[in-house]
Structure 1
């Protein structure tokens, strides 16, 4: 197996990403854990509203993935000065998109959700959350460009520091605003939204200050803020557009799953929100190595070490398995322990156990599937990645529509959709990396 990186080198790049992603996941965990002690309606509503927000956010995140691929390629080619221009053009685009998303969500979300959500209580609580959460677009959309910069230049330790600051801020703000501490009113689910948006603002401020005082801004061309350059932005969109569409479609189908589950009842929706957060722990561990693999694949192609790509992919799968599978086994053996973090309602804990078992088994396939899929994106062939994703999502959508919306099976069966998705994307991505013409892609 021909490789350029040792396991230690991969770990040194990936572990800051892992810590940062886990810290970011703790924001959702904090919201769920706090709201799980307010009530099942708030817990379920935060699932619908939270996924609705994430669908919008993932469009911006998709753009940042494309920007990260370009930054990583320029970093591999040692064209460091071009990185600053890519970064600033990305920030301009993200701020413009944040304004558009803010207006669309603030005006259209009530009209959309009132037609999709069957429970009036869930609807009212979800709108209460979204009315405050959308302010976070301006902060989170900009912050992901900093993430793209640090990932693309493999300076990932910064992400760990930022995430710690963000999580601590979120815990403090949520505790004060949800439960009404230190003289503040108890805002419940609205407090969770305000707290998360404020935490994203703190995160952005940290990124700005850290970059100014700890990064060689002259080396990366960050010392001069350029004007809007449409030719560079067009080049970025040629790569990023497909990841934006891909991320939007991927999360939209997940939103569809939550809407289907909501029609099974408020308890089923509350269970799904808890399982989503438990899944997030495993998913973030997996994605730390999948994202690292995507960046290293781009760097390898940029530096001419194409023969090392297959071996590097296999390295990432092994190291991801070494961390994800023990965690999944632990969650399977001690389900009440992990579920008690999210709710203190015994009946809800008991009802969620079958779904947790189904979810954990899916990671046998999700790990290699995501590593291979991120590798496809890392080659710069983002249009191909979108095509693979659309084929898989079409199968996924048909599956959840049949078993959840039509058959109305128990919520645990809904989570078998993760098996369907992961097996589909694994097969397609594997054969593309094995047989596809990706090595000569110019970006």
Structure 2
């Protein structure tokens, strides 16, 4: 076992994180451009793409959370030198992806009624449902891609993730542009075209990942040809460690989605303002998810190799990067709020009112982007260390407490949108404090617990 210095770990984390940050940033830009295309049609379209897109993520989130735990498992097996097990993790992830597909199709029927149940106008429901259904029909591609992406992140070849994802994003933007507005001989399909462009581009990205996965250098070292079998031991690890991550993700995005749908009951202007703010939020949050993935991978690798004494330096390096990036975003959001909101000017008569609310909400975004950075680094370390059950209970509890508060604020007391918004901001700040305390004093640091986790990967 060897103890590494802060500079060495900072460099290792940076090299691992940068390609994933670029990859995630490209994905955020893709969502951003989709919403921008919708803004060129109407405020209702941008609102529908927000609610329909988030609801599709809610539907996929349980399975994505489970399958994405492949990152930590692959990192732990790789750290332990058990390379053939890494490819078996991918196989089990692909099996779970295919098994999830019929469940996703069944869920489209009750979920589309949710838009109507929360009181949205029929015109908005039609747009939301069209966007949502196409994304879910192509959901199996997203799940399978997550398994392969987690493999390459886990073995430290994050540049593969960057190449595949950035290529997919560029294809997505071009396809969505053509299918939304009817260019290059393709039909003008509006919001349905935006969703279809995303599904086709995701399928192409999956093919690119498979191309790298079957390259001789990877296939031979990781025993890909021998990995095509059901491995109950790895499937049990997916259930034991991945299921809490998936359930946490699912429950959290459910609360977020319900909050967003309730917030839209303030009116179309308020819904459009929220969509604009969350578009900019995506640019910061999804980019920092790249750091979260890198931290989880590096922590898992050190634990798998029995070098857990390096975890404190992984934490310090992660926070150094996250807080620097978050501070840049926070200053940008606070000082350039009017210009950033103005990018989505629909030219409608009520955009001035949308702009006033959105600019005020951007200040809240500037506050909680710091909390996001803390949360993503802390949860990355805890996931890499297998502390997924505590994360699930803590995060779900705080999110659902926020949702109950929102029911009172919006539905019962009928307070204004800014009261609702600052309550959401406060929730994220509280969560950051909770994660920091767990990171510092949590039971996950117990040598016995870490030794048990290491023994499972040797």
Instruction: Give yes or no for contact 1:365–1:419 (8 Å, CA) kept in 2.
Output: no
CA deviations over 1:135-154 (Å, ceiling 9, x no partner) = 22011110000111011111
Partner of 2:118: 116
Unaligned runs of 5+ in 2: none
Partner of 1:88: 91
Question: How many residues of Structure 1 are paired with residues of Structure 2 in the alignment?
Answer: 442
CA deviations over 1:257-289 (Å, ceiling 9, x no partner) = 111111111111111111111001111232222
Secondary structure of the structure 2 residue equivalent to 1:187: coil
- From 96, 101, 105, the counterpart of 1:102: 105
CA deviations over 1:9-39 (Å, ceiling 9, x no partner) = 2211110010000011122111100000100
Partner of 1:341: 343
Which whole-Å CA distance do the structure 2 matches of 1:62 and 1:69 have between them? 12
Secondary structure of the structure 2 residue equivalent to 1:68: helix
Secondary structure of the structure 2 residue equivalent to 1:200: helix
Secondary structure of the structure 2 residue equivalent to 1:226: coil
Structure 1 residue 104: Cα displacement? 1.8
Partner of 2:367: 361
CA deviations over 1:35-77 (Å, ceiling 9, x no partner) = 0010011111111111110112222220123221111110111
Structure 1 residue 112: Cα displacement? 2.8
Partner of 2:209: 207
Partner of 1:379: 385
CA deviations over 1:311-335 (Å, ceiling 9, x no partner) = 3212211111112211221222112
- From 72, 76, 82, the counterpart of 1:69: 72
Secondary structure of the structure 1 residue equivalent to 2:215: helix
Secondary structure of the structure 1 residue equivalent to 2:185: coil
Partner of 2:263: 261
CA deviations over 1:66-124 (Å, ceiling 9, x no partner) = 2211111101111111111111011111111123112321x222333221233222111
Which whole-Å CA distance do the structure 1 matches of 2:344 and 2:74 have between them? 38
- From 382, 393, 399, the counterpart of 2:399: 393
- From 16, 27, 30, the counterpart of 1:24: 27
* TM-score (ref. length: structure 1): 0.94
Which whole-Å CA distance do the structure 2 matches of 1:170 and 1:117 have between them? 32
Instruction: Give yes or no for contact 1:117–1:262 (8 Å, CA) kept in 2.
Output: no
Matched, 1:287 2:289: yes
Partner of 1:309: 311
Structure 1 residue 155: Cα displacement? 0.7
- Structure 1 residues 176-185 or 251-260, which shifts more? 176-185
Structure 1 residue 225: Cα displacement? 4.4
Structure 1 residue 303: Cα displacement? 1.8
Partner of 1:147: 149
Change (3 A) 1:109 1:408: same
Which whole-Å CA distance do the structure 2 matches of 1:314 and 1:422 have between them? 21
Instruction: Give yes or no for contact 1:133–1:197 (8 Å, CA) kept in 2.
Output: yes
Structure 1 residue 215: Cα displacement? 4.7
Change (3 A) 1:309 1:213: same
Instruction: Give yes or no for contact 1:313–1:371 (8 Å, CA) kept in 2.
Output: yes
Which whole-Å CA distance do the structure 2 matches of 1:328 and 1:283 have between them? 11
Instruction: Give yes or no for contact 2:67–2:96 (8 Å, CA) kept in 1.
Output: no
Unaligned runs of 5+ in 1: none
